[in-house]
Amino acid sequence: MTALRLGTRRSALATTQSGWVADQLRAAGHDVELVEITTEGDVSGGLLTAIGGTGVFAAAIRKALTDGRVDVAVHSLKDLPTAPEPGLVVAAVPAREDSRDVLVARDGLTLGELPIGSVVGTGSPRRTAQLAALGLGLEIRPIRGNVDTRLRLVSSGEVDAVILARAGLARLGRLDVVTEVLDPIQVLPAPGQGALAVECRADRPDVLEAVSVLEDADTRASITAERALLAALEAGCTAPVGALAEVVDGEEGLELSLRAFAGTEDGRIDLRRSLTGRYDDPESLGRRLAQILLEDGAADLDRPSTIASRPPEPVS
């Protein structure tokens, strides 16, 4: 095989992630060439909810795959739509980074230490909904931009804090800025957060075999359950949905424990449910938990008055 052409977005985080995948493939004996691709999400300054949400970072790279301009693509898995892309396959899911969200706040403050009225920046309805549900009296402001842009909002005093994915900061070597790692009991991550998707054309058995060395079975099982739940809820990455699956020891071997959140951005409705299921059937687990959420009111989140909501619980 000639050198694998690996398609990546141009951002520092994307090229760092893709560079890591390229290094793993090189260690396995393959020549790899990075090909930078500009996506709609990179050139638009609008909020993700306004420019299309799920898929705005993936569409251009996927077209390059389909057209044969690149052989492999690396995505942040949470950016991929849950619907399969005709002719393409997620050929490998490497071991996942820590999936939790983190707080980066002025003066080293934690979430509970931020004064009432503090401004917290995030472009995620999922984070907005869960922060609002905590009842801390924070002002949540929508923001866009890469990691450095968001961190500058804190250092310049434009906001008191921002919420980011720990995985991105870890890959960039910037964990020193974190003032608190948020417990999933407070803020569940996005489905697939912290995981990478290595995608290629389904009709390229040579590429499929080359990237198979990157596969991590536990991560694949976990993200499959999370994305099955997301698909069943008919939500995207901009919807107020969080999910986290973890591999646990059961009485008869390995199992998956799946926790999920669905709510409203004003925090008045905060549905949290969990379920444990078979390790070897993660899709069924995700669909079953989604059905529980739907039966308990998630189907009516656009009509919050129809749901018996409970007041937000204070954080201890």
Tokens representing 210 are 């080359």
Confidence tier at 2 by pLDDT (50, 70, 90): low
CATH code assigned to 222-296: 3.30.160.40
Distances (CA, A) of 266 to 3, 32, 125, 173, 196: 50, 46, 10, 34, 31
Domains 4-94+195-215 and 222-296 share a fold: no
Tokens representing 192 are 């697939």
**236 compared with 135, residue with greater pLDDT:** 135
Say what percent of the chain tops pLDDT 90. Answer: 80
pLDDT exceeds 80 at position 303: no
Which stretch of 7-11, 22-26, 38-42, 83-87 has the lowest confidence by average pLDDT? 38-42
Among 233, 149, 138, smallest CA distance to 187 is for: 138
Which ranges of 120-204 does DSSP label H, i.e. alpha helix? 125-133, 147-155, 166-172
Which ranges of the chain does DSSP label H, i.e. alpha helix? 12-27, 40-43, 48-51, 59-67, 125-133, 147-155, 166-172, 205-211, 217-232, 282-295
Which stretch of 3-7, 27-31, 108-112, 302-306 has the lowest confidence by average pLDDT? 302-306
Q: Which CATH architecture has domain 4-94+195-215?
A: 3-Layer(aba) Sandwich (3.40)
The active-site residue out of 79, 101, 160, 270 is 79
How far apart are the C-alpha atoms of 222 and 286, rounded to whole Å?
10
User: Ramachandran region of residue 210, left (φ > 0), alpha (ψ -120 to 50) or beta?
Assistant: alpha
Contact 182, 100 (CB under 8 A): yes
Q: Is residue 296 among the annotated active site residues?
A: no
Phi/psi for 189 (5° steps) reads: -70, 170
Can you tell me the mean pLDDT for 94-107?
98
Residue 204 CB neighbours (<10 A) = 19
Can you tell me the mean pLDDT for 50-60?
64
Q: Which CATH architecture has domain 101-181?
A: 3-Layer(aba) Sandwich (3.40)
* Domain coordinates in residue numbering, the chain: 4-94+195-215, 101-181, 222-296
pLDDT exceeds 70 at position 313: no
CA-only gyration radius of the chain, Å: 20
